[in-house]
Amino acid sequence: MAPLLSVRDLRTWFDEEDLTAKAVDGVNFELNRGETLGIVGESGSGKSVTNLSIMRLVPSPPGRVVSGEIVFDGRDLLKLPAEEMRRIRGRRIAMIFQDPMTSLNPFMRVSQQLMEVTQLHLGHSKAEAYAHAVRMLEVVGIPDARRRVDGYPHEFSGGMRQRVMIAMALSCKPELLIADEPTTALDVTIQAQILELIKTLKQDTGASVIMITHDLGVVAGMTDRILVMYAGRVFESAPTAELFSRPSNPYTAGLLRSVPDPTDDSHAPLYQIPGLPPDVARLPPGCPFAPRCARAEAVCREHFPPWVQLTPQHHSLCHFATELFESGSIAPSTSSTATSGLENR
């Protein structure tokens, strides 16, 4: 069965004053129907821009999709005329954003914002759209939906607003839902609720989901596969369990080590990948992660790493991918005497 979404060699660059920031520079992945894909990375890794590119929402100027293909259900989205792309947005591919505080129009009633979508894409009449809006609010768990639907966004709390956004996104039963850091701006307890909600809705509607986050905890419980992104490229791609048990890229390993282990009593200092994410306008030659990599050798700084296939599902962008995959672990640096749990998996 052909994948629902197939991204090939996507490059999205931003033209700043004298430089070009290559926010996404050669990203490839596929998403099958019914799958949940997690995209993980630090700020600036290109994860959000990738997904904005899929929706063709990249602000342009200064951004532009330089090359690549985004094949959705057999058609290349980048080549579609604007009219047709608009028909897909909101109807077949929907997106929810990070900041529910500012992502809803403060001057419009929630009911109107919900009704717009179905009136436009499903041809609902006002009455139908209104009823549908109330139903959607109930589905996402807004109490007293019938009364609250006529309210304005500022009358809802943060978590509620995110539920409203989810309701809006799922109104037309899209085939693909892109969730861009949907819980980052929320409290931890609300986070869990929202993630549960997305999981349930996904099961009920059969949608495929792309979940973008910088939080490994979020993807662990929700995703079938994970992409790890850094400096505009995919550094590792694997099924979720395998990524956690057999990380085959120093960056992935670093990320995993950075997650504090609540069962660790050793009082060792918390691990952090040294250094800062690179400036994608001024990347060094060779591997973008080399300056911060514990495993880096001369070849890393001179030559761009290969995209190595370790299993048909598991790929890694590293000169030492195979060794890392085979060894099953990456040795910790001598600065920490405690194991960070990696070797205990």
Interface ranges with another protein (CB under 8 A)? 55, 57, 61-62, 86-91, 94-95, 97, 99, 102-108, 116-117, 120-121, 152, 154, 165, 168, 274-276, 284, 290-295, 320, 323, 327, 331-335
Minimum gap (Å) between residue 118 Cβ and another protein? 10
Alpha-carbon gap, residue 148 to 137, rounded angstroms: 9
DSSP, collapsed to helix, strand or coil, labels residue 85 as: helix
SS3 content of the chain, % helix, strand, coil (to 5): 35, 25, 40
* Minimum distance, C-beta of residue 61 to another protein, in the bound complex (Å): 5
Among residues 10 and 164, whose Cβ is nearest to another protein?
164
Nearest distance in Å: CB 284, another protein: 7
Burial of residue 36 (CB within 10 Å: 0-12, 13-18, 19+) is buried
Residue among 17 and 144 whose Cβ is closer to another protein: 17
Torsion-angle region of residue 37: left (phi > 0), alpha (psi -120 to 50) or beta?
Answer: beta
For the CB of residue 337, give the shortest distance to another protein in the complex, in Å.
13
Cβ distance to another protein smaller for residue 22 or 225: 22
Q: Among 10, 101, 108, which residue's Cα sits nearest to residue 53?
A: 10
CB of 192 to another protein, least distance (A): 24
Sequence-ordered list of residues with C-beta below 8 angstroms from that of 199, at least 6 positions apart, any chain: 222
CA angle, 26 as apex, 25 and 32 as ends, to 5°? 130
Classify residue 81 as exposed, middle or buried by CB count within 10 Å of its CB (0-12, 13-18, 19+).
exposed
How many CB atoms sit inside 10 A of residue 340's CB? 20
Output 96 or 226, the one with its CB closest to another protein: 96
CB of 163 to another protein, least distance (A): 14
Between 61 and 262, whose beta carbon lies closer to another protein? 61
What is the longest distance spanned by two Cα atoms in the chain? 67
Nearer to another protein, 192 or 292 (CB): 292
Residue 177 CB neighbour total at 10 angstroms: 23
- How far apart are CB 191 and another protein at their closest, in Å? 19
For the chain, state the CA radius of gyration: 21
Q: End-to-end distance of the chain based on CA atoms, in angstroms?
A: 34
Q: Residue 132 carries which DSSP code?
A: H
